C-alpha cells in the first residue's frame, strides 16, 4: 500500500470481519459503533477511538447513523513501542490534541484542501498524539506547524508559538530557519496566504470579509500583501481560479 491514506466513511449495520496488513485508525465523528478487535470489544464514539494493528481480525456492528475518519498507515511508519502499546489495548480516549488533528484532517477532506503529499505527516502526527511520551524537537515543530494550519487566522505571536513547543523565541527562530527555511513570521504568512487562496477559490465570501478574517486592516492591506507574495491581487486570483 501507499505510505498513508485518509478517508471519511460510514458503516452499514454489520460490517464483515476483515484483516489487513496495514495499521488502521478509526476515529468516530458522529454516531457510535460496536467493534471487535482480536476478541476485544468496545463501543466507539466521538470520544473513543481505536488503533488496529496489522493482520488483526476485526468486525463492526452499528445501530445508528455514523461517520468516521479512517486513517490507514503503513506499519513501518508507526514506532514499535506504539504498536506494542496498542496490541493488547487498542481502544483509547481522544485527547484534545488528537481531536484537533482529526478535525483538521476531516476539514481538509470536506473543504477539498486534502493534500495527499502530506497525508503521511498528518497520520504520524495523529499517532504521535495518542502517546504521552515527550516528542523530540523536530516532531514538536511539525506539530506546531500543524496547529497553525488548523487555525492560521488565530492571533499567533512568536511567543505563543515558542510556548507551544517549550522553546525560547530566539531558539524557535533558529530552528524554523533550520527545518522550514523560513522565519516563524514568514511561515505564518505563507500558511495564511494559502488559506486565503483557498477561500478565494472555493467560497463566495466578499474579499473584504476574507481580509478581515485573516487579520488585515482592510482589503487594500490584503491586496498589498498578496501582490508582494504571489504577484497578483485577490480579485485577479479569484477570476483566474474561477474562469
Among 130, 96, 108, smallest CA distance to 23 is for 130
Q: What is the CATH number of the domain that holds 196?
A: 1.10.10.60
Q: 117 and 10, same structural domain?
A: yes
Distance CA 30, CA 209 (A): 31
pLDDT value of residue 180: 85
Rounded to whole angstroms, what are the CA distances from 204 to 51, 201, 219, 234, 239? 39, 8, 15, 12, 12
Q: Write out pLDDT tens, residues 123-132.
A: 887 888 887 5
Q: 109 and 188, same structural domain?
A: no
Rounded to whole angstroms, what are the CA distances from 125 to 65, 119, 177, 185? 28, 10, 21, 23
Tell how many helices (H) and how many strands (E) occur in the chain: 10, 9
Axis-axis angle for helices 184-202, 234-242 (nearest 10): 50
CB 230 within 8 A of CB 237: yes
pLDDT value of residue 15: 81
Q: Write out pLDDT tens, residues 48-61.
A: 999 999 999 999 98
pLDDT value of residue 134: 46
Distance CA 22, CA 20 (A): 6
* Domain edge (last residue) among 133, 165, 192: 133
Q: 146 and 122, same structural domain?
A: no
pLDDT value of residue 227: 95
Q: Categorize the per-residue pLDDT at 218 as very low, low, confident or very high, splitting at 50, 70 and 90.
A: very high
What's the grid cell of residue 43?
463501543
Contacts by 224-230, CB closer than 8 A, 24 or more apart: 225/189, 225/193, 226/193, 226/196, 229/189, 229/190, 229/193, 230/193, 230/197
Sheet containing strand 33-37, edge to edge, reads 14-18, 58-61, 33-37, 40-44
Q: 220 and 103, same structural domain?
A: no
Q: Identify the residue with better confidence: 70 or 141.
A: 70
* Range in 34-38, 40-44, 76-80, 237-241 with the lowest mean pLDDT: 76-80
Number of domains the chain is built from: 2
Domain around 45: 4-133
Share of the chain above pLDDT 70, in %: 94
Amino acid at each position: 500500500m501507499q505510505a498513508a491514506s485518509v478517508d471519511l466513511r460510514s458503516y452499514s449495520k454489520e460490517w464483515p470481519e476483515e484483516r489487513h496488513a496495514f495499521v488502521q485508525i478509526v476515529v468516530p465523528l458522529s454516531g457510535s459503533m460496536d467493534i471487535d478487535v482480536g476478541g476485544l470489544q468496545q463501543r466507539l464514539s466521538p470520544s473513543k477511538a481505536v488503533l488496529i494493528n496489522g493482520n488483526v481480525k476485526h468486525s463492526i456492528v452499528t445501530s445508528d447513523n455514523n461517520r468516521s475518519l479512517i486513517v490507514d498507515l503503513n506499519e513501518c511508519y508507526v514506532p514499535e513501542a506504539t504498536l506494542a502499546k496498542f496490541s493488547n489495548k487498542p481502544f483509547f480516549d481522544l485527547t484534545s490534541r488528537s481531536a484537533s488533528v482529526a478535525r483538521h484532517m476531516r476539514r481538509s477532506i470536506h473543504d477539498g484542501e486534502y493534500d495527499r503529499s502530506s497525508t503521511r505527516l498528518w497520520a504520524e502526527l495523529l499517532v504521535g498524539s495518542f502517546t504521552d511520551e515527550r516528542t523530540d524537537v523536530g516532531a514538536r515543530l511539525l506539530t506546531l506547524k500543524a496547529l497553525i494550519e488548523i487555525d492560521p487566522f488565530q492571533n499567533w505571536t512568536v511567543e505563543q508559538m515558542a510556548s507551544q513547543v517549550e522553546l525560547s523565541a530566539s531558539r524557535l527562530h533558529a530552528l524554523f530557519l533550520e527545518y522550514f527555511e523560513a522565519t516563524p513570521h514568514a511561515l505564518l504568512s505563507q500558511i495564511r496566504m494559502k488559506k486565503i487562496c483557498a477561500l478565494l477559490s472555493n467560497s463566495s465570501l466578499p474579499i473584504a470579509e476574507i481580509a478581515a478574517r485573516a487579520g488585515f486592516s482592510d482589503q487594500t492591506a490584503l491586496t498589498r500583501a498578496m501582490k508582494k507574495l504571489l504577484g497578483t491581487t485577490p480579485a485577479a486570483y479569484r477570476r483566474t481560479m474561477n474562469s
